[in-house]
Amino acid sequence: MKYFFALFLFLVLLSCENEVVIKPKAMLRLEYPEPIYQKSPEGCPFVFYRNKESNLYLKNNCWINIEYPQMRATIYMTYREVKNHNLDSLLFDAQKLTYDHTIKASAIFEQPRVDSIHKVYGMLYMINGNAATPSQFYVTDSVHHFITGSLYFNSKPNFDSIYPAAAYLREDIRRIMETIEWKN
């Protein structure tokens, strides 16, 4: 029995190694197709270019949902007419909607849009952190038309996880803002 215990102890000590095996670091790599843009359908007082990978759904009063099924995301666009000098209240509502996310946001960056030739003025808000929406925007001609837009994912907000898709879709939002044309 004494020899058996000594043999067992010897094997246990011999089997222990101090060599550490390092687990390789894996990085998430999401690749999205190069965007190809097409003109939005007629029927509203504005047109713009959108990504062909998306599906456009026209709602009442030219409210538009642009869905990205591959990313489980939607850009919701709301159109309102500027009338009776309500531009200030429309701007206030758009800005308030964005800054209501400061509770969960770690940072909010603003990128203004000014195109005096085509009379398109607006703001793109890039919201970092675990807010419900990573991007919001508005565009207007300041006389007749006002559009707000918000990007939402069909998942619990975790900014680290959705960042690659949010960055890709921010470029699509920029493209919408850059290509919008009003029909008077």
Task: Average the pLDDT over 31-37 and give the result.
Answer: 90
Backbone phi, psi, residue 146, to 5°: -150, 125
Task: Average the pLDDT over 16-33 and give the result.
Answer: 69
Q: Residue 122 in contact with residue 139, Cβ under 8 Å?
A: yes
CATH fold label, 46-182: Protein Transport Mog1p; Chain A (3.40.1000)
Terminal-to-terminal C-alpha distance of the chain: 100
pLDDT of residue 161: 83
Nearest to 140 by CA among 93, 79, 57, 99: 79
52-70 per-position pLDDT tens digit: 999 999 998 899 999 999 9
Compute how many other C-beta atoms are within 10 angstroms of the C-beta atom of residue 39.
11
Q: The tokens 């925007």 sit on which residue?
A: 137
pLDDT of residue 137: 97
- Distance, in Å, from the CA atom of 36 to the CA atom of 55, rounded to the nearest integer, reads 13
135-180 per-position pLDDT tens digit: 999 999 999 999 999 999 998 878 888 889 999 999 999 999 999 9
Residue 1: is its pLDDT beyond 80?
Answer: no
